Amino acid sequence: MSAASSESATESASATTPAAASPRRIGGYELLSLLGRSTQSMLWLAQDDSGMEVHLLLPRQQPADAAARQAWTENASRAARLQHPRIAKVLEVGVADRWPFVVSARAQGVTLAERLRSDENVTAPQAAQWLCDFLPGLAFLHEGDALHGDVGLHTILIDPQGRALLMPFGGGDPAVSPAAGISPTGSASRPLEPNAERTAIERDVFASGLVLYRLLAGAPALDEEDLPTAVVRAQREIVRLGWAVRIPIPEALRAVTNRATEREPTRRYLGARSLERALQGWIDAQAEGGGGVLALLMDRLRLVGHLPMLPSTMARLRVAVSTDRLRIREVTEVIIQDPALSFELWRRATAAQFGNPSSTPTLTVSRAVQLLGVEGLQRTANNLRVWPGHLSPVAADALGKEMSKALMAAHVARTLCPADMDGEVAYLIALLQNLGPLLMHFHFPDEALQIALLREPAESGKPGMDEATAAFAVIGVEIDDLAMAVARHWRLDESLQKAMVRVPTDISVQPPSTRDEMLRLLASAASEAVLASMVPEAKGAAGSAAALQRVNQRYARPLVLAPNELTSAIEQARLDVELSLPPPSA
């Protein structure tokens, strides 16, 4: 139902509403009961002369003139022509007694409002799934130059199979903004300006976020039952999914919901597909399957591989294997400077054998070279995409920066590795601990940019999100979940998967009790040191030198580090990477 304030604004027009008509008919349809309404539209249960029940959608107020009626029906007809599995089919768009209307079959489903009245106990996965059901339909409308105008509980249907679909037109006038105080029944015969169309699309997506909030919280945002009014109020009031809600909300889903209802437009989802992708990513992560971001990653692995090979690698490899005698150490050094080739070669030779529970893994890149030989090495390299693959120059530069950080961490881990352990294994585990960001920047460059923007402070001065929350809000999973999905796809041993997980920065580091734990700590210390070295010196005590010292102190006892050992290792790693890693634009 509409808010009380909205009711008072419309009751004065009751004489011109279908509810006051006698008999209650619109065209050839008898109005039976009101199913739901907003300040923009109302949905009636009606029946035709044959007795078939239908949904009949009307504007909340009768259009002011013929031009406004024509605009309403033109918008409705444009949307009705678009056919999509998650959009309800329209039987008729017409005008009767100066009332424009849209008719669809009742058999397609009950309204979401009706569904909630019969059972308010909606689970978090069910709420997310309903959004994922109808959001592709909303995106299809937007891509077909149609706008909905009133996404809400009365324009979302739940079909007999329990899935959500969207009525193609909500009856709102997208040519005017409720925030501007303009009546939605005014004339709208002129075409939308590009900025106005963009605003209307964003309003549809924002309203979808408010629907998600309503499903999870069990109450409307801002205690405002009318969604069009809530959309306007949310431009100046904060909407946040609180902790005192009827059901536990997983942190990732909370982040998605809060981003969908964010007050600052630049931090919201700008399209229905991006919101759907984030929700489906969360659903997929819960079920470890389905059609979310992890499944999309698996598809892209098959199409473009895991990472692109650096442009200079093939030439350097040819030089290394051109001598009469194969020098394993020289060839290995070339390979491990290229994460893509390292992962692919190592995966092929070690996936089924790495991580014997009774011993430290012994198969390395150098061992893989011995097993596969020159021909196997060349075949492996030829199967990889060459830098930058499908990436734009901007995305390639971003991936290059992540690759530089990963290689620096690998060099530091090898430098810190004790003499009685294989430094090459520590090197490769450090690379694997940085696999998530590499995959993110190669396979989802646009989403990686969104995550980076969410981590920056807002214009209002509000602090940016941490990486995990930003990733939840954009793709529905943490970035490291991408790496673990690939590790499972590669069938890497469980002990290696454990070593890929960095030590959390909010817990104290304990001395390792096994060699596998030692390798994990070495890689974690190296990755933390690289990030600390990138803190701007302008921040004084929080600058890179102080940050590096804190990391050194954190790992000093578990790894038996000298006071400045990490600093020295970082300086050497920076030189090694500058010599080995060509510019990303190469």
Task: Report the mean per-residue pLDDT for the chain.
Answer: 85
Q: Is the dihedral of CA 218, 222, 225, 228 positive or negative?
A: negative
Model pLDDT for residues 115-148, shown as the tens digit of each residue: 999 988 899 999 999 999 999 999 999 999 999 9
Per-residue model confidence (pLDDT) at position 120? 81
Per-residue model confidence (pLDDT) at position 62? 92
Domain boundaries, the chain: 4-178+193-291, 313-580
**Radius of gyration of the chain, Cα coordinates, nearest whole angstrom:** 29
Provide CB contacts within 8 A for 162, sequence distance 6+: none
For the domain made up of 313-580, give the CATH fold: Hypothetical protein af1432 (1.10.3210)
Of 537, 529, 536, the residue nearest 564 (C-alpha): 529
Nearest-angstrom CA–CA distance, 585 and 409: 22
Structural contact between residues 398 and 449, judged by C-beta atoms closer than 8 angstroms:
yes
Q: Does the pLDDT of residue 537 top 60, yes or no?
A: no
Model pLDDT for residues 463-497, shown as the tens digit of each residue: 888 899 999 999 888 999 999 999 888 888 888 89
State mean pLDDT over 530-534.
90
Task: Provide the whole-model pTM.
Answer: 0.71
CA 61 vs. chain centroid, Å, equals 38
Q: Place 503 in a pLDDT band, splitting at 50, 70 and 90.
A: very high
Per-residue model confidence (pLDDT) at position 21? 41
Structure-token pair, residue 536:
């701007």
Model pLDDT for residues 346-396, shown as the tens digit of each residue: 777 754 344 444 444 446 888 888 877 888 888 888 889 989 888 999 999
Structure-token pair, residue 109:
């489903």
Residue 261, CA distances (Å) to 199, 209, 227 in order: 15, 6, 12
* C-alpha dihedral (282, 286, 291, 293), degrees to nearest 10: 50
Model pLDDT for residues 564-579, shown as the tens digit of each residue: 899 999 999 988 887 6
For the domain made up of 4-178+193-291, give the CATH fold: Transferase(Phosphotransferase); domain 1 (1.10.510)
Per-residue model confidence (pLDDT) at position 374? 81
Percent above pLDDT 90 for the chain: 57
